[in-house]
Structure 1
Amino acid sequence: MENTSSNRVLITGGCGYFGYRLASALHKKGAKVILFDTAPPRQEGPEDIVFVRGDIRDYAQVEGAVSAGVDCVFHIASYGMSGREQLDRQLIEAVNVQGTQNILKACVEHGVSRLVYTSTFNVVFGGQVIENGDESLPYLPLHLHPDHYSRTKSLAEMAVLEADGTALRGSSGALRTCALRPAGIYGPGEQRHLPRIVGYIESGIFRFVYGDPKSLVEFVHVDNLVTAHQLAAEALTPEKRHRSGGQAYFISDGRPANNFEFFRPLVEGLGYRFPKLRLPISLIYFFAFLTEMIHHLVGPFYNFQPLLTRTEVYKTGVTHYFSMEKARAELDYEPQGHNLDEVVQWFRSRGHGKKRPSSLSSRFFLDILFVSALIAVALSFLPVVGS
């Protein structure tokens, strides 16, 4: 892998879980790292990792960070991936589309030669079955995306890849760009998805699974994703003949699994029973649709966390997995084997895990609540008498 000792890199969203892991890995290899984010990192790190507070929607702030002699930008910052964030259309558009345009403009204006963009599987996936898909798949038509995050990430990725080869102002060089499309990220300390899942487990909400038990999805361990980003940046250099320039790559652990079976070790590792009840995905999708409609009505007054959104239902319950062959051939990417043992240990070290049986009264209340919700959703399918 490339010696980064002379590199100055900027990481947008660098104080988030993945961004900081990437920063730490690059710093360890000798790179000078600048973190650009709206809030400082939660954990303490090397003093010479520079934090620049800023908002990607503000070009002046972006320009101020990029102009510090940056050689490579890792553009990770985004908004709207999951939960109630998915329902804030205006902010999603501003961060994912306008923010990316700001990064591209600043790179060209200030002579940044490399840009690695963190994209998503969702640029080609919108609920249809995909088995061992590859990068020849076309973008999902924008109007078919059921959520704003996926649509805006598609627009941003298109802009990034189209910018490959753009002449740099005041230089004979050109901006080289590529995009990585990761699966769902996991690892010890992940702060977006895993705490929400553990919260559902510990509160007793995780009482059922849904969809075809043979459905397959993918995940990527944070360390594999860090490696992929370093390899992608290296492949943009003249020494590698810019071979990743203008290219997109699917990145995962390369081990498709049923979504719920993947998390079984986490559930059981924390001392809980894995649910036996399996519901049809159509019922859960409709429940998510109703939840989104309710959020649309009451969200301005009470911005509650939806149990599931429609996008989360099909991302977890519909088969979609991709080939790593292009990443292997062009980036020399070879995912390492990982499991959830370290995730279980991380949560247990912070006091999570079943400590005592639930009281009869609380279990009875949860059962009544769960059954009532199912009945309400089922009745909503019935036609109104006299209509």
Structure 2
Amino acid sequence: MLPVFDRLSVAMEDTPKSTYLITGGCGYFGCRLACALHENGARIILFDTSPPHQEVPEDVVFVSGDVRDYALVEKAVVGVDCVFHIASYGMSGREQLNKHLIEEVNVQGTQNVLKACVEHGVLRLVYTSTFNVVFGGQVIENGDESLPYLPLHLHPDHYSRTKSLAEMAVLKANGTALSGSSDVLRTCALRPAGIYGPGEQRHLPRVVSYIEKGVFRFVYGSPSSLVEFVHVDNLVSAHVLAAEALTAEKGHRSAGQAYFISDGRPINNFEFFRPLVEGLGYPFPKLRLPISLIYLFAFLTEVIHHVVGPFYNFQPLLTRTEVYKTGVTHYFSMAKARAELGYEPQERSLDEVVRWFRSRGHGRKRQDSSVRLLLNLLLVSAFVAVALSFLPVVGS
């Protein structure tokens, strides 16, 4: 069972018990959100293509389905009070290069969810969007929700472009009359930073694999560049608060609105991961390369993947979007989320993440350094022995 968060209990204690559907709910964040809602007595339905790999309460309902299939989405929303639509595809790695599937899941899937909500009287929908709807590689410092959407043709990847289209559709649907009812659908969107936390399965394992394989030998970009992250529990809190703010009791104050969500602590991307690198017993890279060189490498990698991908779907070291997201300053104000949602991110660190990986056998073993020292001594001894063998024997 995942931990109970007092701030979530406070947010929901005066709210009638509701039924929540979480699309894409069997992933890391979806399960975390489900457990937090369940702790407060809510009925939870997880809608996903495969069952949860994480522990969830026994009475959490799993419904197998794909957001691309309207008939399955329609069945899942019957009797639901609020939908958390977090299902998406193409966020990172080679997934970013699958244009067709990204379009189907992110755009058509969202349209299916919206249509089903209207047809079956769902009152509230919270959409999990992304910073990337306004960011495409340009510097943004303390940006807020008044920033316009990045023009669609300027997005360097299909994921960001389709998430923009989906968010626009979600916010446009706010106020849509529900079939056979005098009520309307209330919607809002949250734009989170990169998610982290113990057990996160998308980004952190990839980072750790690069560290352990010796690939993480350099950093890039300016050391003064700043980005943001959001701990999974802070993101859970934001979603619960956003759903509550869609209710009549809260004056529907989040209806039709978008909110940037992060820990509120801008930091250099590579410095953020320093505790993870060093906590697993590895040296932090000292070599710093220009971001233009890394971007060119990522571009060439994408070209190669386009050619050989149909035969060998390899994992790119980095995509162009990942270079931008990790090496170019972009961070946002939490003022609107604080004022309208009551969002207050709790301070977190990577210590629990390090412990999680350590507990599963990751990290350089303690004996490694002594073994290396012994091997070096043996090598030096062998070299000295060989050298001495060429010296003349005394008395010969």
Deviation at 1:241, TM superposition (A): 1.0
1:12 to 14, 23, 34: 23
- Check if 1:130 corresponds to 2:143: no
Give the aligned partner of residue 211 of structure 2: 201
Alignment of 1:221-370 (within 5 A): 221-355=231-365, 356=368
Unpaired segments of 5 or more residues in structure 1?
A: 361-387
**How far apart are the structure 1 equivalents of 2:101 and 2:57?**
32
Q: 1:143 to 1:333 in 2, by over 3 A?
A: same
Aligned to 2:59, what secondary structure does the other structure show? coil
Q: Please tell me whether the aligned partners of residues 84 and 306 of structure 1 are also in contact (alpha carbons under 8 angstroms).
A: yes
**How far apart are the structure 1 equivalents of 2:292 and 2:35?**
43
1:46 to 57, 65, 73: 57
Mean Cα displacement is larger for which, 225-234 or 349-358? 349-358
**How far apart are the structure 2 equivalents of 1:298 and 1:95?**
24
Percent identical pairs in the alignment equals 83
**How far apart are the structure 2 equivalents of 1:44 and 1:335?**
25
Aligned to 2:185, what secondary structure does the other structure show? strand
Counterpart amino acid of residue 234 in structure 1 = E
Alignment of 1:103-252 (within 5 A): 103-252=113-262
TM-align CA RMSD: 1.1
Describe the superposition over 1:80-104 as per-residue Cα deviations: whole angstroms up to 9, x where unpaired: 0000000000000000000000000
Deviation at 1:46, TM superposition (A): 1.3
Counterpart amino acid of residue 182 in structure 2 = S
Describe the superposition over 1:257-289 as per-residue Cα deviations: whole angstroms up to 9, x where unpaired: 000000000000000000000000000000000
Structure whose CA Rg is larger: 2
Q: What is the total number of aligned residue pairs between the two structures?
A: 359
Describe the superposition over 1:157-182 as per-residue Cα deviations: whole angstroms up to 9, x where unpaired: 00000000000001110000000000
* Segments of 4+ moved more than 4 angstroms: 357-360
Structure 2 length-normalised TM: 0.90
Deviation at 1:16, TM superposition (A): 0.2
Unpaired segments of 5 or more residues in structure 2?
A: 1-10, 374-396
**How far apart are the structure 1 equivalents of 2:169 and 2:372?**
55
Counterpart amino acid of residue 322 in structure 1 = F
Give the aligned partner of residue 99 of structure 1: 109
**How far apart are the structure 1 equivalents of 2:253 and 2:218?**
46
**How far apart are the structure 1 equivalents of 2:303 and 2:372?**
34
Describe the superposition over 1:352-380 as per-residue Cα deviations: whole angstroms up to 9, x where unpaired: 000225979xxxxxxxxxxxxxxxxxxxx
Q: Please tell me whether the aligned partners of residues 35 and 50 of structure 1 are also in contact (alpha carbons under 8 angstroms).
A: yes
Q: Please tell me whether the aligned partners of residues 328 and 334 of structure 1 are also in contact (alpha carbons under 8 angstroms).
A: yes
2:100 to 76, 90, 95: 90
